[in-house]
Amino acid sequence: MKALLLESVHPLAESLLKESGIEVATRPGALDEDELIQALQGVNIVGLRSKTEITPRVLAEAKDLQAIGAFCIGTNQIALKEAAARGIVVFNAPFSNTRSVVELAIAEIIVMARRLSEKNTALHDGVWDKNSKGSHEIRGRRLGIVGYGNIGSQLSVVAEMMGLQVYFYDTDDKLAMGNARRCNSLDELLEVAEVVTLHVDGRPGNGGFFGAKQFARMQPRSLFLNLSRGFVVDYESLAENLRSGHIAGASVDVFPQEPKKRGEPFTSPLQGISNVVLTPHIGGSTEEAQEDIGRFVATKLRDFVERGTTTLSVNLPSLTLESRPGGRRIMHLHVNTPGVLAKVNSILATHDVNIEGQLLNTAGENGYVVTDVSNLPQAAVDELEAMPETVRLRIIH
């Protein structure tokens, strides 16, 4: 098995994969579509972060690809449905960098409320400006969290411990943490919150959902943060509201177009505006988070390679069959239609194959069955591969 790790994923991931006998190559930055197609020839596993896009064209050309590891939370950079249709499993790290993003959000709220970026710039320019005007404590302020998932809910707990009054809005019915109060609509949240922070996912439907209308409904002189996805916010409108003074400060960590490599030029309509904190998509970029992400995703990839385990996969049925000593394991990814399991077992029975363990799970259009057998003639393998429902067949042990 060969793996390619892109975008400087944590070295622990490389070590864990190598310990499993996987040949690993690494590249520091992201690749564009043509570069990626060329790099994936003969590669079975690819690891990436948020900059590299796995498009349908890439999947069509990557004939040997079996697994994708997203060493981050989001998977909107991967054509998940097309990957599933080709039997390519995708794993991500939905929890590993949660705390890092929460801590950055809290830090940026304090920085904006105390206008620290302006004080810092003034001192670097040789100007002593000891002045409390426009500087506030965060205690007692009303924080509005848009998106109450793993990050939003943990931010809710930490913020309340620091004395903020927490309000949240989510399209799903989420249980409030602590004393947080649920808002029935985004407009309701915007009308009450003094600080608004976005923690929504990267689904296409969220594109451009926060713009001029939403900024207009925010409290005058309120603060705004986006540590979720760059394409969900109209930054031109945000810049206008900052310059007019309607929004008193903003912190932004994600952008619609981001450089693929460190050191490349970057432009934004938010540059040069007072009390604006811009960070280069570093919400989860702490050494602790990256190490945990490296361990989590690499372990999922390893378990898939060694045992066919798909637990917590984002695009294929989740399945774990306990390993048995000796024998062989058949992993059969197929189109989810009635009778597939019966066909698989009929083929095995025809060739006098003894089944020692078996588990099936389905999700949407996809089915996945893992079968442990004591013997497996090549003729049985050929018949399983020839089944019209078969998407991918893999044998291990």
Question: Is the pLDDT confidence value at 339 over 90?
Answer: yes
The residue assigned the tokens 């049985």 is 380
Provide the percentage of residues in the chain whose pLDDT is more than 70. Answer: 100
Cβ(384)–Cβ(347) under 8 Å?
Answer: yes
Verify whether residue 281 is a known catalytic residue: yes
Tell me the domains of the chain and their CATH numbers.
1-96+288-313 (3.40.50.720), 98-278 (3.40.50.720), 317-397 (3.30.70.260)
Report the pLDDT value the prediction gives residue 205, as an integer from 0 to 100: 86
**List 115, 229, 302, 334, catalytic entry:** 229
Q: What is the pLDDT of residues 14-68, one digit of tens each?
A: 999 999 999 999 998 899 999 999 999 999 999 999 889 999 999 999 999 999 9
**List 61, 82, 103, 258, catalytic entry:** 258
Q: What is the pLDDT of residues 162-194, one digit of tens each?
A: 999 999 999 999 999 999 999 999 999 999 999
Q: What is the pLDDT of residues 263-305, one digit of tens each?
A: 889 999 999 999 999 999 999 989 999 999 999 999 999 999 9
* Low-confidence winner among 94-98, 115-119, 242-246, 369-373 (lowest mean pLDDT): 94-98
**List 10, 49, 115, 281, catalytic entry:** 281
Question: Is the pLDDT confidence value at 137 over 90?
Answer: yes
Question: Is the pLDDT confidence value at 394 over 90?
Answer: yes
Calpha distance 274→267 (Å, rounded): 16
Q: What is the pLDDT of residues 141-165, one digit of tens each?
A: 999 999 999 999 999 999 999 999 9
Q: Sorting pLDDT into bands at 50, 70 and 90, what band is 95?
A: confident
Q: Is the pTM of this model over 0.85?
A: no
Question: Is the pLDDT confidence value at 376 over 90?
Answer: yes
Mean pLDDT, the chain, as a whole number? 95
Nearest to 57 by CA among 28, 86, 30: 86
Cβ(317)–Cβ(366) under 8 Å?
Answer: yes
3-state helix, strand, coil in the chain (%, to 5): 35, 20, 45
Give the chain's end-to-end CA distance (angstroms, integer).
14
Calpha distance 219→372 (Å, rounded): 61
Q: What is the pLDDT of residues 198-238, one digit of tens each?
A: 999 888 888 999 999 999 999 999 999 999 999 999 999 99
Say which residue, 76 or 390, is predicted with more confidence. Answer: 390
Question: Is the pLDDT confidence value at 261 over 90?
Answer: no
Burial of 369 (0-12, 13-18, 19+ CB in 10 A): buried
Identify any residues that bridge with 233 across adjacent strands, giving them in sequence order.
Answer: 210
Provide the percentage of residues in the chain whose pLDDT is more than 90. Answer: 92
Q: Which two tokens stand for residue 54?
A: 């796995």
